[in-house]
Amino acid sequence: MKLPALICARRKVGALTADAESEFWRSIPAVSFCDTVSGVKPQQGTSVRAVWDAEELRVLFHATDTHAWATKTERDAPLYEEEVLEVFLDPFGDLESYFEIEVNPLNAVLDLVLRRNRSGYAKDFAWRCEGLRTAVMKSATAWSAEFSIPFRSLTAAPPQAGDRWRVNFCRIDRPPGVPRELTAWSPTGRANFHTPERFGILEFAR
C-alpha cells in the first residue's frame, strides 16, 4: 500500500485556539482519516491540517464526535484507554526511534519517545516535549485539538524547506455501546498505530 504524503505549508501562525472554523485554518487543506485496519471510511470522521514556521510544527485535528469524553487529566496518564488524538513523528526517517504526543478531550497530554530494541520498541515516558502547547475546543457534534510542537524539542536543528519527515496522525474513538474505532491518516493494516514503517510522508514546503 502506497504511503500518503502531505505538503506542510509554511505559514506565520497565530494564537493557539483549536478553532477549525477560523479563517486561518480553513485556508489550509485538510486530509481525512480512514479505518486503520481496513482503510474504509469511519463512522465518525477526522481530518488534520498542518503548517510550520522556523520555530514549530502546528497541527490541527477536527473530529466528528457526538459523545466526546475523557476522565484522565494528569500528564502522562494512559490517555489511550479513553478517547484521544495522536501525533507520531520520526524526523530522521530511519525507523530507529519516534515521538508520540497525545491529547484528549480534556486537553490532557501524554508524550513519550520510543526507541528500537531487540524485541521491538521501548517506551520512554520520562521524555518531555519541551515547550509543547495544546488547546481543545468542543461542541455538541465534534471536538478539535491543536498542537504547537517546537522543533527544538525533537531535533538539534529545525527542518529546511523540502525536508521530509515520517509521520502519522491517529485517533481512538470510543462511542457508547459500540466497539472502539481506530482511525489514521496512514492506515497501518492492523489494530495498532505503532507501525512506523507505515508512517506517511510530511514534506515541509517553501
Q: Is residue 74 part of a domain?
A: yes
- Give the Cα separation of 79 and 173 in Å (integer): 12
Q: Is residue 42 part of a domain?
A: yes
Q: Is residue 24 part of a domain?
A: yes
Q: Is residue 61 part of a domain?
A: yes
∠ CA 36-38-43, nearest 5°, is 75
Q: Is residue 204 part of a domain?
A: no
Q: Is residue 43 part of a domain?
A: yes
154's grid cell: 525533537
SS3 of 23, please? helix
At 1 the pLDDT is: 79
CB 37 within 8 A of CB 191: yes
pLDDT tens across 163-175, in order?
999 999 999 999 9
CATH of the domain at 9: 2.60.40.1190
CA distances (Å), origin 68, targets 51, 142, 184: 25, 7, 18
Q: Is the dihedral of CA 87, 90, 95, 98 positive or negative?
A: negative
What residues make up the domain containing 117? 5-194
pLDDT tens across 39-83, in order?
999 999 999 999 999 999 999 999 999 999 999 999 999 999 999
Give the DSSP H or E segment for 25. Answer: helix 23-26
For the chain, the average pLDDT equals: 97
Whether 143 shows a pLDDT value over 90: the answer reads yes
Domain count, the chain: 1
Q: Is residue 201 part of a domain?
A: no
pTM score, whole prediction? 0.96
